[in-house]
Amino acid sequence: MHLIGLLLVLSLTLVAGIAVLKLRSALNARVDSSIEENPHRLGSNRKQKSKPQQKTLKGTPKTRFSSLLGRLQERTHCVAVLWCHTEQVTCFAFHPKKRCLLSCSSDRSVRVWWDPVDKQAKFSSVNLFTCAASQHNVKFPDFAEACCWSKDGQFVLFALSHTHAIRSYDVLENQKILSGSLDVVSVQKGNVKDIEMDPHCRYFVTYDDGSSFIVWNMRGNILATVDTHQVQNNRMAISPDGRFIASAGFIGDVYLWEVLFQKDSGEFVGLKKVIDLKGHRAGVRGVAFSHDNKKVATVCKDKTIRIWNIDVKYKLEEDAKLLFSLEPWDIHVDLLQVAFNPNDNLLAVAGNDSVAIYLLETRQIVTILRNCTGQGGVDIEKFGFSGDGTLLATLGHGQGWISLWHIPYMPGFSKV
């Protein structure tokens, strides 16, 4: 009897022991998988986990998404800060195809960074605007408050602050910017908020804080002055095919103006308001066209982000449709600007001092770049993707430097 009792006790402890061991390993497995799921923990053992970069992503949208998510979180980081000027940076613009960056400052300098993430970042620097504008006999120094590139990257346009002059300059690699052909004085009373150029170089657009914008031809003649009736201009954009100008302002409606040219002669005919994007309940701060000309993204003071389909038969009075809305990452964030990456698969939204990057196919946030300006309470003034889509540049309000963020290459997705 004693022997049987002893055996029973022994086998019971054995079973209990095995159970405890099993439970332990199960617990360990749980801990491991929670590490897998937590992206912040992932960061710490990034080295062991990093796999050779894959060229294409296969699988269902969900697995592709998690693969992308991993890559973005591992590889999106600040790659460079360009301490480029002695005073505040007033504007910058990326070359339409390359990484090359143009920056201007109230210290009157203009710099062209041929590859801004190159360790020995080379730039061409000129104090363009100290020289007198011969035609207009301007003697005092000036600086650019807005700039943009021509689509072929051959020349740049500047809107100057004091003199209100608009000038073009040719850009030749590894040389100083040479004087260009255009030199006119704007009739706008207010400071030029931004300047945008038609990709086909038929016209360019300037606008100030008021409610109107000016369309110029490349010789500097005014083609049209348009009152948008939007109380105040917040932002304007030209579609990549040059067909539409979008205007976003104090009122919630965003207007698309078709720029009409004579088919044969190419002569300017006029502007026509053809599409009205209705739905926002407050001022729209940011507007951007997708590179395939089919979508428009808007961000609004009412804390909504909307994607619209503008590929409609507007001539037959078909309205543009709201495709979907995206949730902001923080309900207290003030949305400021929006941009599509060159492949149209990522959407970057700037709000306060952060930039959230959404994957459009799944409509999820893949990463949030926080503290982009490096100073609490300083909002992002300007941001944009490089022409090749590998960089995102951010500039804080009143700051004298530009931060550059690495954006991993995104393989093409099926269109959303």
Residues that bind ligand NAG (CB under 6 A): 330, 332-334, 352, 371, 374, 376
Rounded CA-CA distance 86/83 in Å is 8
CB of 40 vs ligand NAG, minimal distance in Å: 14
- Residues 6+ positions from 411 with CB-CB distance below 8 Å: 55, 56, 57
CB of 375 vs ligand NAG, minimal distance in Å: 7
Rounded CA-CA distance 354/368 in Å is 7
CB of 401 vs ligand NAG, minimal distance in Å: 11
C-beta closer to ligand NAG: residue 208 or 353: 353
Q: Is 49 helix (H, G, I), strand (E, B) or coil?
A: helix
Amino acid at 299: V
CB of 350 vs ligand NAG, minimal distance in Å: 11
C-beta closer to ligand NAG: residue 39 or 59: 39
C-beta closer to ligand NAG: residue 78 or 323: 78
C-beta closer to ligand NAG: residue 211 or 352: 352
Rounded CA-CA distance 254/324 in Å is 16
CB of 384 vs ligand NAG, minimal distance in Å: 21
DSSP 8-state assignment for residue 129: G
C-beta closer to ligand NAG: residue 89 or 350: 350
Rounded CA-CA distance 298/103 in Å is 26
CB of 15 vs ligand NAG, minimal distance in Å: 53
State CA 337 to chain mean position distance. 7
Q: Are strands 254-261 and 268-277 parallel, antiparallel or unpaired?
A: antiparallel
C-alpha distances in Å from residue 238, one per residue of 169, 198, 254: 21, 7, 13
The sheet carrying 194-197 orders its strands as 194-197, 204-207, 212-216, 222-227
CB of 393 vs ligand NAG, minimal distance in Å: 16
Rounded CA-CA distance 324/103 in Å is 35
C-beta closer to ligand NAG: residue 246 or 299: 299
**Upper half-sphere CA count for residue 315 (Cβ side, 13 Å):** 1
C-beta closer to ligand NAG: residue 52 or 377: 377
C-beta closer to ligand NAG: residue 302 or 330: 330
Look up tokens 């990484």; give the residue.
Answer: 99
CB of 10 vs ligand NAG, minimal distance in Å: 59
- Residues 6+ positions from 151 with CB-CB distance below 8 Å: 96, 197, 199, 200, 201
CB of 322 vs ligand NAG, minimal distance in Å: 25
Neighbours of 41 (CB within 10 A): 11
Residue 228 corresponds to which tokens in the numbers above? 């948008």
Contact 94, 82 (CB under 8 A): no
C-beta closer to ligand NAG: residue 259 or 356: 356
